[in-house]
A and B are shown apart, each in its own frame.
Chain A
């Protein structure tokens, strides 16, 4: 009996180690870093339009909410302590530069830390202007604090080992696993929250969502939003895709199809609804489900294709394209 328990514990530990600590190539994390860095960069640029309207003491929310009074222990943000316009602008510039450094992988760890601090500080200072997609950015930023995302495809790598720039060193896989678990939880929660709503259960939710005038982006054909049948299909389809992204994404065979469905769902949302950067942040996060070996092969194939094009003259390229 004791032997059996001991064997079970040992197997459990092996499975735990295999799941979290197996070494993986850093190509997936590197590409996610570039994608996430670009999204934070554009997010920050777009914030510049209304920076002082949102974060100045003369803006729409003159001071950071009192988290102690509202029972939100643990919340913090630099702009609660430093309230001047100068501090807001300084933090903005830091975030902008840090996003560029994170994208190119220059001082990656420090850049990730500054991105995290910047995103959290703006988010806490005025939570009334942010949606779930903005929250997703600071969630991802936290995971980047612990991920060796500068180990490959980065200026850091170039400076450290120029001759081995196109290698993707092995690192323990737990940061990537943590991101995968986060994606799964995200979709299970999204689907679960919807099941409490009568419009999701009766199949009309998507029609309502697409007709909210103040959220409308590009027009959706009237036959889509006016048809109860199509609305039913889109509503139940959304629930099915979200559930699949929570559960079936762990199945290697189904994963590509589930992710493709997720990409089409989010591109559809981005087309029709003003959700800011939500769709892009989620789609970038899907990269964590692409096996690092596959990602490495794709990156090297792109490198070879680009270097092949660059090595040939324009005349050679057009002749090859014609043939």
Chain B
């Protein structure tokens, strides 16, 4: 069917319209923030999202993060003891192909601009702990950061800072 479409003049016109719309849509999507982008995407953005052509090539842009980041959860148990939950992490050879997703989530979940991710994160930790046979009653989420100085300066990474950014108490916990 596609071959038949390509071999007819009307089919080529149709394909050409598709090509123009698609190239324009992808080009406008990738423009820097501007009025041209805003106006251009008004009719085209739904098409871009529906076709999965939404894309973001700002890898390490405009600047790479100048911090090493960690997220840990401090868990309080019903018996008064404490434990620590850490992000799942794999080895460098093969584990890197699954644990990058956890690290990506950590960037969003520990970011103050996305508070909607915090309660679900804490509830997930609670469920993990319960699954391991423990009785957690509270989860506190901590963001740990270590700044990276400019290249050539010693030490290569400054001391860690730790900051609690969320607390979640299990309803009905005593």
Contact = CB atoms under 8 A, between A and B. Distances in A.
Interface of A: 16-17, 20-21, 42, 46-47, 49-50, 53-54, 58-62, 67, 72-76, 116, 119-120, 123, 128-132, 135-136, 138-139, 141-142, 146, 148, 171-172, 174, 178, 181-182, 185-190, 192-194, 196-200, 204-209, 211-215, 217-218, 222, 225-228, 231, 274-278
Contacts of A226: 151-152, 156
Which residue of A17, A206, A213, A214 has the most chain B CB atoms within 10 A of its CB atom?
Answer: A214
Q: Would you call the interface of chain A mostly helix, strand, loop, or mixed?
A: helix
B78 interface: no
B104 A74 contact: no
Nearest to A276: B100
B39 interface: no
Nearest to B48: A74
Contacts of B48: 74
A64 B61 CA distance: 27
Contacts, number: 200
A213 B127 CA distance: 28
A102 to B, nearest CB: 16
A250 to B, nearest CB: 15
Q: Would you call the interface of chain B mostly helix, strand, loop, or mixed?
A: helix
Interface in B1-54: 2-3, 6, 12, 15-16, 19, 22-23, 26-27, 30, 32, 45-54
Given A73-B45, A178-B22, A128 B105 contact: yes
B56 interface: yes
B102 A50 contact: yes
A21 B19 CA distance: 11
B151 A193 contact: no
Nearest to B69: A214
Given A21-B6, A60-B120, A129-B104, A142 B61 contact: no
Contacts of B103: 214-215, 274
Given A74-B46, A190-B58, A181 B63 contact: no
B165 interface: no
B98 to A, nearest CB: 4
Given A174-B19, A193-B32, A214-B103, A49 B98 contact: yes
A135 B117 contact: no
A148 B6 CA distance: 12
Contact of A225 (B63, B104, B124, B151): B151
A283 to B, nearest CB: 15
Complex A-B, nearest 7 residue pairs according to Cβ-Cβ distance, in ascending order: A74-B46, A197-B62, A213-B68, A74-B49, A207-B151, A193-B61, A197-B63
Nearest to A53: B124
A20 B99 contact: no
Given A73-B49, A128-B117, A277-B97, A214 B106 contact: yes
Nearest to A127: B108
A47 B49 contact: no
B22 to A, nearest CB: 7
Contacts of A196: 32, 61-62
B97 A46 contact: yes
Contact of B57 (A142, A181, A186, A200): A186
A75 B49 contact: yes
B23 A178 contact: yes
Contact of A17 (B12, B58, B70, B148): B12
14 contacts: A20-B15, A21-B15, A50-B101, A53-B88, A72-B49, A129-B104, A171-B6, A190-B58, A196-B62, A197-B62, A200-B63, A218-B92, A222-B156, A276-B96
Which residue of B45, B124, B151, B157 has the most chain A CB atoms within 10 A of its CB atom?
Answer: B151
Contact of A214 (B68, B97, B101, B127): B68
B174 interface: no
